[in-house]
């Protein structure tokens, strides 16, 4: 992940609604703290539910959603 974050424009935002296991969480924290990334919105985590002491809960640049990205209503005409 660190290599991917370094290739993104400085200040880019990350949205992960796919698989929590695809994200190296420590690399994300480093990228946010350094300013490489400006924000992250996460619907999935490596371990769910996240423990109460997980650093993502209190990080000011991370927004967590409760794993609901797949819950959509089909469109009808």
Please state whether the peptide bond connecting residue 40 to the residue before it is cis, i.e. omega within 30 degrees of 0. no
Catalytic residue among 19, 22, 54, 59: 19
The alpha carbon dihedral of 50, 55, 24, 6 has a sign of: positive
Half-sphere exposure (Cβ direction) of 39: Cα atoms closer than 13 Å = 5
Tell me whether residue 67 is one of the annotated catalytic residues: yes
Active-site residue list? 19, 67
């Amino acid at each position: 992940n660190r290599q991917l974050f370094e290739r993104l424009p400085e200040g880019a935002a990350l949205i992960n609604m796919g698989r929590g296991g695809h994200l190296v969480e420590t690399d994300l924290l480093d990228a946010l703290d350094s300013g490489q990334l400006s924000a992250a919105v996460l619907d999935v985590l490596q371990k769910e539910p996240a423990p109460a002491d997980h650093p993502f809960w209190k990080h000011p640049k991370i927004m967590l959603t409760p794993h609901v990205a797949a819950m959509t209503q089909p469109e009808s005409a």
